[in-house]
Every structure is written in structure tokens, then in C-alpha cells.
Amino acid sequence: MDFSKLLIDWYLQNKRDLPWRNTTNPYPIWLSEIMLQQTRVAQGMPYFFSFTKAFPTIFDLANAHEEQVLKLWQGLGYYSRARNLHQTAQFIANELGGVFPNNYKDLLQLKGIGEYTAAAIASFAYNEVVPVVDGNVFRVLSRYFDIETDIASASAKKEFSALAMELIPKENPALFNQAIMEFGALQCVPKSPNCSDCIFNQSCAALQKKKVDILPVKLKKLKVRNRFFNYLIFSDDLANTIIQKRTDKGIWHNLYEFPLIETEKEENFDTLSEQVKTNFQDFNIVSIREENSKSILHKLSHQHLHIKFWNVKVNGHLPNGINSTDLKSYPFPIVLHNFIEAK
């Protein structure tokens, strides 16, 4: 029995019942694919249900305020996905009459939709014969065929796509694409896969050559940047505080945060206190104290944030002060949301 037939038979017996699999409507398929980039299914599922409840159609998403979209996205990370999702919904609703492009090439033109997502929508919604190549597919193919190409290299996508294209049964590309992705997610997992109980244990090249734990090859290491964030939690006579919107490009764009002093290293109390007094001379500051003496480490894919919170008490009333109830309605990065919820 050939690779594709075995794989599809396995899938039909083992697949998870996921809501976006029971439809060919491109809207929920697109939503799920964007949400599941960099995100596990278990984590993404509640967000998918929240979004489809709040925005049942692409017109509902297009008409929403960006802050509502970001608030619902809170905790999923990589917030540019949510902003692009919203802008693309507006484009499809307003420029295309709510109708998704029905092929890979045109889907690729949409904001926030790369080769993988375009292939997924074209395949799952329109049954176009186009290979979907994600991390799971790289892993399955590199192990089964013993391919040592560095999957972080520029040529890898082309090589693996060509191989997947040869394997796709032309009469049912969607089923094959779902099957190979699911096989990578459930069976051919990154660490310690159960090869003894695998449909390919007689034919997998990596298993025969004892290379399962070294494939796929990924050489490019991300350079991680350390940043030191000092958040100032102002509090006035009414117990109000102040926040600001992150308008600069970069992490957490358009989310809210407390006033921030970013430093080159972890600063001691005296140095930081002086900076607060200098930067906020107009405020009648009564006291400054550390909320957490040990920094909270918040890891992003390319940055490690060392976060400290500082309580700053002021006399009088803060300009644009916000009470604790209203504060919770704004979209914050999850590390700040958790801090607010714990107060």
C-alpha cells in the first residue's frame, strides 16, 4: 500500500473532531489557520469559539472595532495576526462583497496570508490541488524519506512542496493535506514519537537508519534579545490609574500598557526612582515602591522581557485616570492582563 493511501486510512481512523474540519466555508477555515499559527490546538480552540460567536460572519468581523478584536485575541500572542485578520476581513467584506478568493494565487494576495495559509484555505475550502507544508509536514516527510535539508533554509519550502505535490492524490487533496498535518501533530511528534506503533515503521527511512531524533534538520538559531521593562502603576486619591497605547511598530502594537521606562539592565530602586521623578515631574508623587523585587521573565519568540512593576502613589487626581473596572475592558498583553487580574 502506498504512502498516501496508508496515511489517509490512518487519518480517517484517528483524526480529531475539530469544528473547522466539518465545513468548506473559507471563513472559519481561515480563522482557524491564522489562530493555529504558533499555537497549539488546545490553546486555540476557545479563541476560535469566542471569535465565531462574536463574529459569526466576515461582515461582523469587518465591522468590529480593532480594540474588540485585540481584546478577544488577548493571550494568543503574535498580535499582528489579529490586526491583519481584521484588515483582511474589512477588505473581503468591503472590496470583494464578502466572498473569499477561490484559489491559491489570489488568496496569497491578502494581508496576513502567506503560502501555508493560502494553500490550506485553497485546499480545504475549494479542494485545489496544492500542498500544505507546515512544521508537521516538514517533520513527517524529512523522516520518512530521510531528507537532511535544513528546513530553515530558503530552498527547503520549495523542495518539500514539490515532494508533497507528487504524493497528493489529485482527486482528494484536502483529505491528504489534513492527514499529513494530523499525522505530524499526533503520531510523528517532535520528541520521542512512538515509532513501534506507527503505520510506517516498516518503511520509514529515519527509523531504519536510527535518525528519528535528528530529523528534521533545523540549523538557524533565533537570536534572543533581552529587554528590561519597568511598568509604573500610578494610583491617585480616587485609586485611579493611567495607561497608554503602544503605537510604535514592534511587539504589542495597538495594545495598552502602563507607563513604561525601558532600561538597558535591571535597575535598582534608587536609580529607577530618580528616573520616575524626572520623567513625571508634573505629577505630585508621594511614594514609589517595588511591586515585585524579582523580575517576571516573559519569553517571546525573539525577545526575553524582564518585567518589574512599580507602585507610584500621587496626590490629587491623575489626568485621564481610569478606574479598576474600566481598566479591565482594554486589550493588554497577557503578562499585564494577568497582573491586573491578580490585583
* Catalytic residue positions, numbered: 33
- Enumerate the β-bridge partners of residue 305: 227, 298
CA distances from 207 to 194, 195, 200, 212, 213 (A): 11, 7, 9, 6, 9
Which contiguous run of DSSP H or E holds residue 62? Answer: helix 58-63
The verdict on whether omega for the bond into residue 216 sits within 30 degrees of 0, i.e. cis, is: yes
Question: Which residues, including other chains, have CB under 8 Å from residue 189's CB and lie 6 or more apart?
Answer: none
The string of DSSP letters for 67-135 reads HHHHHHHTTS--THHHHHHHHHHHHHHHHSTTPPP-SHHHHTTSTT--HHHHHHHHHHHH--S-----H
Which contiguous run of DSSP H or E holds residue 226? Answer: strand 225-235
Task: Give, in degrees to the nearest 5, the angle at Cα 229 between 228 and 234.
Answer: 150
Residue 210 region, left (φ>0) first, then alpha (ψ -120 to 50), else beta?
left
Query: Cell 479542494 identifies what position?
Result: 127
Task: Report the distance separating Cα 206 and Cα 224, nearest Å.
Answer: 31
- Enumerate the β-bridge partners of residue 31: none
C-alpha cell at 101: 478568493
Asked if residues 108 and 121 have their Cβ atoms less than 8 Å apart, the reply is: no
Task: Report the distance separating Cα 216 and Cα 150, nearest Å.
Answer: 7
